[in-house]
Amino acid sequence: MRPSLSLQALSSRLKLRHLVLLDALGRSHNMHLAAQQMNITQPAATKILQDIEELFGLVLFERLPRNMRPTDLGEFVIRFARETLNATGKFVEELDHMRKGGHGVLLVGATYGIAYLLSPSIMKMKQKRPLLAIRVLERTSDILITELEEKNLDLVIGRFTAEHQHNFFDFRDIAATQMCVAVNPAHPLLAEPRLSLAQLMDWPWILHPLSTPTRKLFEETLADKGLKSPVNLVETTSIFTTLQLLQGSDMIAIFPVSAVRDYIRRGMISRLPITFDRQLEDYGILSRKGEPLGAAAAEFVETVLEVACGEELERA
């Protein structure tokens, strides 16, 4: 029986080029492409993989006729390689930034519709740390959580998308998300004295893709009422594209109330009197469990919670 792998053996033999190959091969499933990405020959890449498998005492890839498929243990090792490379890349970037007089880099993921919270939080943070570089990735929560898991982000302002995720991420609750139906201020439906969701199904809609929580809530609401999904629709996650489409047409869109509150106040769009029995899960701040936040990230979390508290008091 092969002896267990020790940290001492791993630290003395594992090299960054091993991790780079694992990551490249895990993405391409092709030794020739992985070698090209590393700018080495295919025999050299094959030798590196043999060294890695010998080190771990595991077969990490199935050698198939046309590609190389990671084994279950291979997927686990690839994930370690990817997370280590991402963390190393962030370290190098931050170190270089600080050498040039900066105060590091903060990587924040934000789900759509929270600009009302994110923008003032960033401005407050820049007042405290003007030389801190803040990079924001705006995506749906499912994509952001994957980026957070792979250490491409320090924290995420979003929501859980699967029940098991609480095992891997800490969550600081911010607020529930109320939904609304929005249209152009000149839309004919605004003149209707009473409206139901059924009356809107023949109108053109702007919706998020089916994989997003907002769209799932909408489809579940239609199912509750025995309604079919609208056929005439545009799918996008861009709030700006949606706003432009609304202002230039008679289309209908569904939004988190928080995302469009200011646009409604300014008369750019109007809200139809439609309510939803279902609501999205609360959103909050997610970070990797068991991994303390850096000083800048921890300060940003407190800043976001402070801004969120101020928003709640203003609405009260």
What pLDDT, on a 0 to 100 scale, did the predictor assign at position 101? 65
**172 plus 186 within the same structural domain:** no
Cα angle for residues 168, 169, 170 (degrees, 5° grid): 135
> Does residue 94 fall inside a structural domain?
no
Distances (CA, A) of 107 to 8, 110, 173, 273, 284: 32, 10, 20, 38, 16
Question: Residue 37's domain is classified under what CATH number?
Answer: 1.10.10.10
**168 plus 296 within the same structural domain:** yes
**289 plus 172 within the same structural domain:** yes
**Which residues share a beta bridge with 155?**
108
> Does residue 224 fall inside a structural domain?
yes
Lowest model confidence (mean pLDDT) among 1-10, 20-29, 61-70, 227-236:
1-10
Task: Extract the runs of DSSP E, i.e. beta strands, from the chain.
Answer: 61-63, 68-70, 105-110, 133-138, 155-158, 169-177, 179-183, 205-207, 233-235, 252-256, 270-272, 280-288
Domain boundary among 47, 82, 117: 82
Question: Please, what is the average pLDDT of the chain?
Answer: 88
The model's confidence at residue 314, banded by pLDDT at 50, 70 and 90, is very low
CA distance 84 to 90: 10
Q: 3-class SS at 46?
A: helix
**116 plus 193 within the same structural domain:** no
What pLDDT, on a 0 to 100 scale, did the predictor assign at position 33? 93
Structural domains in the chain (count): 3
> Does residue 41 fall inside a structural domain?
yes
> Does residue 88 fall inside a structural domain?
no
What pLDDT, on a 0 to 100 scale, did the predictor assign at position 311? 59
Question: Residue 127's domain is classified under what CATH number?
Answer: 3.40.190.10
What pLDDT, on a 0 to 100 scale, did the predictor assign at position 222? 93
The model's confidence at residue 285, banded by pLDDT at 50, 70 and 90, is very high
> Does residue 159 fall inside a structural domain?
yes
Share of the chain above pLDDT 90, in %: 54
Name the pTM for this structure.
Answer: 0.63
> Does residue 54 fall inside a structural domain?
yes
**140 plus 222 within the same structural domain:** no
Question: Residue 226's domain is classified under what CATH number?
Answer: 3.40.190.290
4 or 121, which is more confident:
121
**274 plus 229 within the same structural domain:** yes
pLDDT of 316 above 50: no
What pLDDT, on a 0 to 100 scale, did the predictor assign at position 102? 66
> Does residue 63 fall inside a structural domain?
yes
What pLDDT, on a 0 to 100 scale, did the predictor assign at position 309? 79
Residue 186: domain span: 179-278
> pLDDT tens digit string along 86-133?
888 888 887 887 777 667 889 999 987 787 889 999 999 999 888 888
> pLDDT tens digit string along 251-265?
999 988 877 888 888
> Does residue 164 fall inside a structural domain?
yes
CB 153 within 8 A of CB 169: no
> Which DSSP state fits 267?
T
> pLDDT tens digit string along 119-168?
999 999 999 888 888 999 998 888 999 999 988 999 999 988 888 899 99
**291 plus 172 within the same structural domain:** yes
> pLDDT tens digit string along 13-68?
889 999 999 999 999 999 999 999 999 999 999 999 999 999 888 899 999 888 99
Domain boundary among 52, 82, 112: 82
**214 plus 253 within the same structural domain:** yes
**258 plus 188 within the same structural domain:** yes
**255 plus 193 within the same structural domain:** yes
What pLDDT, on a 0 to 100 scale, did the predictor assign at position 10? 81
**171 plus 198 within the same structural domain:** no
Cβ neighbours of 287 (radius 10 Å): 20
**27 plus 74 within the same structural domain:** yes
What pLDDT, on a 0 to 100 scale, did the predictor assign at position 2? 58
What pLDDT, on a 0 to 100 scale, did the predictor assign at position 313? 39
Tell me which amino acid residue 200 is.
Answer: L
What pLDDT, on a 0 to 100 scale, did the predictor assign at position 13? 85
